[in-house]
Amino acid sequence: MLRLAIQKSGRLSDDSLNLIRECGISFISSSLKLKTECTNFPLEILFLRDDDIPGYVADGVADIGIVGENVLVEEGKQSLTVEKLGFSKCRLSLAVPKSAEYNSIADLNGKNIATSYPNLLQAYLDEQGVQANIHTISGSVEIAPSIGLAEAICDIVSSGSTLISNGLKEVERVFKSEAALIASEQLSDEKQQILEKLLFRIHAVQRARK
Ligand code: ATP
Ligand code: ZN
12 C-alpha to center of ligand 1: Å?
Answer: 6
The verdict on 94 and 154 lying in the same domain is yes
193 C-alpha to center of ligand 1: Å?
Answer: 30
What per-residue confidence (pLDDT) applies to 31?
73
The verdict on 94 and 172 lying in the same domain is yes
Q: Residue 36 pLDDT > 90, yes or no?
A: yes
The pLDDT tens digits for 62-91 are 999 999 999 999 999 999 999 999 999 999
The set of protein residues with a Cβ atom below 6 angstroms from ligand 1 is: 7, 10-12, 49-51, 68, 70-71, 88, 90, 156, 158, 177
CATH number for the domain including 194?
Answer: 3.40.190.10
Domain of 169, in residue numbers: 90-176
The verdict on 9 and 79 lying in the same domain is yes
How far apart (Å, rounded) are the C-alpha atoms in residues 141 and 164? 14
Question: How many independent structural domains does the chain possess?
Answer: 2
The verdict on 64 and 12 lying in the same domain is yes
ipTM of the modeled complex? 0.96
Q: Is the dihedral of CA 114, 116, 121, 122 positive or negative?
A: positive
The verdict on 158 and 196 lying in the same domain is no
Q: Using CA positions, which residue lies closest to atom 19 of ligand 1? A: 68
- Using a pLDDT cut of 90, give the percent of the chain over it: 95
Per-residue pLDDT averaged across 108-128, rounded?
98
Asked whether the beta carbons of 50 and 68 are under 8 A apart, the reply is yes
pTM equals 0.95
What per-residue confidence (pLDDT) applies to 150?
98
What per-residue confidence (pLDDT) applies to 205?
97
The verdict on 79 and 121 lying in the same domain is no
What per-residue confidence (pLDDT) applies to 160?
85
70 C-alpha to center of ligand 1: Å?
Answer: 9
Q: Which residues contact 64 (CB under 8 A, 6 or more apart)?
A: 2, 3, 4, 5, 57, 82, 181, 182, 183, 184, 195, 198
How far apart (Å, rounded) are the C-alpha atoms in residues 97 and 27? 46
The verdict on 33 and 18 lying in the same domain is yes
The verdict on 24 and 40 lying in the same domain is yes
What per-residue confidence (pLDDT) applies to 158?
86
